[in-house]
Amino acid sequence: MAVIKNNTMMITHYNRRLILSNQLSVGYIPICMQILDLSRKNWRMGGKNTWKK
């Protein structure tokens, strides 16, 4: 009985960690996208400036 209890506890703990990591990744995706978009815009601006020279 104790072994089963420990296993279920481990499973629930693992699931909780998975859910937390999923929430974090979901939160990070838009931030990463925004950073990529900003860097892309800056790079385009830089490229235009260098071409003008």
Structure tokens belonging to residue 42? 């800056």
What is the model's pLDDT at position 22?
A: 82
Task: Report how far apart, in Å, the C-alpha atoms of 19 and of each of 14, 28, 29, 40 are.
Answer: 9, 14, 15, 31
Task: State pTM to two decimals.
Answer: 0.39
pLDDT tens for residues 5-53? 777 777 788 888 888 888 877 888 888 888 889 888 887 777 666 555 5
Rounding to the nearest 10 degrees, give the CA dihedral for residues 24, 28, 29, 33: 180
* Unique residue bearing structure tokens 């699931």: 15
Structure tokens belonging to residue 14? 């693992």
What is the model's pLDDT at position 50?
A: 59
Structure tokens belonging to residue 13? 């703990």
